[in-house]
Structure 1
Amino acid sequence: MNDHDHDPIDDLLAGLREDVPEMTERSFASTRTHLVMVIDPPTPADTQDSGEPVAPQRRSQKWRSPPRRLAVSAAAVVALAAGAVVWTAVDGDLTPNAAAERLNSAADRVTTTDAPVGPEQYRYVVSHYWSLDTIVLRSTALHRLMAAKNEVWIPADPSQDCTQHSTRGEEYQWLVGSDEQAEELGIDPTTPTSDQDQLPCGDFADGSWQQPSTDFLASLPRDPQALYDRLVTDTEGHGSDPDLEVLVYAADALRTSQVPPDLRAALYRALALVPDLEITEEFANLDGHRGTAYGITRSGQRHDVIIDPATGQYIGERQVDLDGVTGVPEGTVISYTSVDLPVVVDEVGETG
């Protein structure tokens, strides 16, 4: 992430846990049944002076990508308003190198070319995510999962603008609180929003992992070791843990669906070089899309990315709050992001 996206809670967590001894093999193994999701933990603001609740939202970016931070859950099944997210224990027979072997196998299965987009056509990309929404009023904190949907129509010509349509708040699920409690505090719990923007697509200066431009993607090495080294260099000084930040940066780029197949495969092979990356779930399910989850546990949080082992398709990310640091019960799922397989359409507004 960029400097202005630095999350102060990372430093806070690191400091709080300095006196915690190294995790034992037994306790580490027990986390393998945990579910993980992606979010930037919110920083609630007490609004009792103004009387107006504050629901923190992520800083907008060109892509307005979903939150990126993660964690772990101890539950076995979590039902969300948009559907069920189910996870199972990891196979105990996995070898220490299982994650690297599976990632390299997924890279082998990435198709060499994406579906072509004609001169008057668009690549349609849609992502669905649930993120933690916190409201603080009169010393009472309410927490819920808020649904959002982000649709982007990407033209074949990168010099043209992309069209993005975003909706938020049409569905939600309370984690701490209820509609009745919100109404007692004078809060209207139903606050859906929708907006549409024209955004720079591929030909813009100063591309990044979070907002990849055509030139930025072309500049990235395809050799896995060189690409891993580039990730390590670009993430230096960001986040609370260097290995975790490498995973986060790779996920940022993959989420945009702008990464070409050869680079996608190289990113999987580069992630296979990340220390402590493990298979956390064999059959992860995000919005009906199934894949293998690869994750890292740090400071009471677990971070996963999910990849279809059969096709090499990037499916999404997950986060669960293991220690209750965000104000929800320990082990609560606090976000996930799923990215549908892009399709080619003939006009903006068409969804395939």
Structure 2
Amino acid sequence: MNELKEFRRNTPAMTDNAATAAKARLMTAIHEPEAARKSAATGARRFGWRIAVAAALALVVGGTIVTIRDQRDMAPVASVAELGERAASAAENDRTPAPGPAQWLYTKELQLAGVEADVDRDQRATWERWTSVDGKQSAWYQGGKLMFQGSAVLNPAELAKAPVTPAGVIARIKAAILDEDRRGPQELNGHVPPVMLFMEINQLISEQWLAPEVRAALFRALPAIKGITVAQDVAVADGRRGVAFSLTDDGARNSLVLDPQTFWYLGTNSTRLQDRTYERADGSKETFEAGTVSLTAQLEATIVNQPGQRS
């Protein structure tokens, strides 16, 4: 099964809406295809399954095969609570200087999709993104031109307001999600599902600069979200393996993967555990088979002075 070809087969020209749809189909249909379809269709829903513009993708055909490396020296983590505490301690001990208010976070991500144990290595994607430290803008290259759009509705500074506690940051994220829902699709009925909260935290950690105390609070909060467990030896897109916060929902296991020694963010792994068929708005159907996977790996994350700069 060649998921990337299937995702791209019906993708229209790269208008803003088409770009959103392409990114949605590639990276989120595996763990929540129905929600991704709604996000692509409305263009308004930004939280939980907020989709970055797919024009940021630079598709690479061919190239060196990525092999899954064996990391036998992984530090054992006994429980999800222990994982949360280790990751929080690593965040608190980060001595990297805080960026200035006018600076940007540059991230580069590798993405793969296919069938477990046979991921399509011939079609992969790298995605570059710049996000302003204040969270208000993001940028990417499209056709050689730097494009801009509004970014997070939730200003990261809001999460950093004292006192910063696990319960407090979760409450602020939930409030922002519900506020966005009230002004948009009005689908949540006052309740934020655990998988949506988990995905929003994942996006904050992977795409946004966060103060060390905020990252620590988020890691300590994750074990308290219903259904989240610890998973050992989880692969990301570039072959590294790590320890993960995992949540199984709607027949798919979604994992936020950390380095097993440093507990820094590595990437994500979404694996479909059951076959499931979804019907699109046009009446066509698509089946996602058990074993279908979507992997990402964060290759670079650094503070720069302006969008378009990489170091």
TM-score, normalising length from structure 1?
A: 0.53
How many residue pairs match? The answer is 245
1:175-213 deviation digits (Å, cap 9, x = unpaired): xxxxxxxxxxxxxxxxxx776312346xxxxx53xxx43
Report how far residue 305 of structure 1 moved: 0.8
Q: Is residue 110–residue 237 contact of structure 2 (8 Å, CA) maintained in 1?
A: no
Q: Is residue 128–residue 150 contact of structure 1 (8 Å, CA) maintained in 2?
A: yes
Structure 1 unpaired stretches of 5+:
1-35, 46-55, 68-79, 133-142, 167-192, 202-206
Assess, with a 3 A threshold, how the Cα gap between structure 1 residues 220 and 281 changes in structure 2: closer, same or farther. Answer: farther
Report how far residue 233 of structure 1 moved: 5.4
Q: Which has the higher helix share?
A: 2
* SS of residue matched to 2:262: coil
Question: Which has the higher Rg, Structure 1 or Structure 2?
Answer: 1
Amino acid aligned to 2:301: P
Aligned to 1:104: 85
Q: Which one of 132, 147, 151 corresponds to residue 128 of structure 2?
A: 151
Map 1:92-241; keep pairs closer than 5 Å.
98-110=79-91, 111-117=93-99, 122-130=104-112, 147-154=124-131, 158=134, 162-165=138-141, 196-200=146-150, 207-208=152-153, 212-218=154-160, 222-231=164-173, 238=188
Q: Is residue 286–residue 338 contact of structure 1 (8 Å, CA) maintained in 2?
A: yes
Amino acid aligned to 1:342: A
Q: Is residue 37–residue 319 contact of structure 1 (8 Å, CA) maintained in 2?
A: no
Assess, with a 3 A threshold, how the Cα gap between structure 1 residues 338 and 113 changes in structure 2: closer, same or farther. Answer: same
Report how far residue 215 of structure 1 moved: 4.3
Amino acid aligned to 2:33: P
* SS of residue matched to 2:112: strand
Q: Is residue 291–residue 308 contact of structure 1 (8 Å, CA) maintained in 2?
A: yes
Aligned to 1:65: 52
* SS of residue matched to 2:139: strand
Report how far residue 271 of structure 1 moved: 0.3
Amino acid aligned to 1:331: G
Structure 2 unpaired stretches of 5+:
1-27, 55-62, 115-119, 179-186, 277-285
Report how far residue 147 of structure 1 moved: 3.7
Assess, with a 3 A threshold, how the Cα gap between structure 1 residues 163 and 82 changes in structure 2: closer, same or farther. Answer: farther
Q: Is residue 131–residue 145 contact of structure 1 (8 Å, CA) maintained in 2?
A: no
Q: Which one of 330, 339, 344 corresponds to residue 290 of structure 2?
A: 330
The whole-number CA distance in structure 2 between the counterparts of 1:146 and 1:238 is: 36
Amino acid aligned to 1:330: A
TM-score, normalising length from structure 2?
A: 0.59
* SS of residue matched to 1:258: coil
1:215-237 deviation digits (Å, cap 9, x = unpaired): 44445862113334445555676
Amino acid aligned to 1:197: M
The whole-number CA distance in structure 2 between the counterparts of 1:349 and 1:58 is: 29
Assess, with a 3 A threshold, how the Cα gap between structure 1 residues 105 and 328 changes in structure 2: closer, same or farther. Answer: same
Q: Is residue 65–residue 255 contact of structure 1 (8 Å, CA) maintained in 2?
A: no
* SS of residue matched to 2:149: strand
Assess, with a 3 A threshold, how the Cα gap between structure 1 residues 288 and 117 changes in structure 2: closer, same or farther. Answer: farther
Assess, with a 3 A threshold, how the Cα gap between structure 1 residues 289 and 198 changes in structure 2: closer, same or farther. Answer: same
Q: Is residue 136–residue 155 contact of structure 2 (8 Å, CA) maintained in 1?
A: no
Amino acid aligned to 1:275: K
Aligned to 1:52: none
The whole-number CA distance in structure 2 between the counterparts of 1:233 and 1:154 is: 22
Q: Is residue 113–residue 295 contact of structure 2 (8 Å, CA) maintained in 1?
A: yes
Higher RCO by CA contacts (8 Å cutoff, separation 6 or greater): 1
Assess, with a 3 A threshold, how the Cα gap between structure 1 residues 64 and 233 changes in structure 2: closer, same or farther. Answer: closer
Assess, with a 3 A threshold, how the Cα gap between structure 1 residues 94 and 216 changes in structure 2: closer, same or farther. Answer: closer
Aligned to 2:21: none
Amino acid aligned to 2:149: L
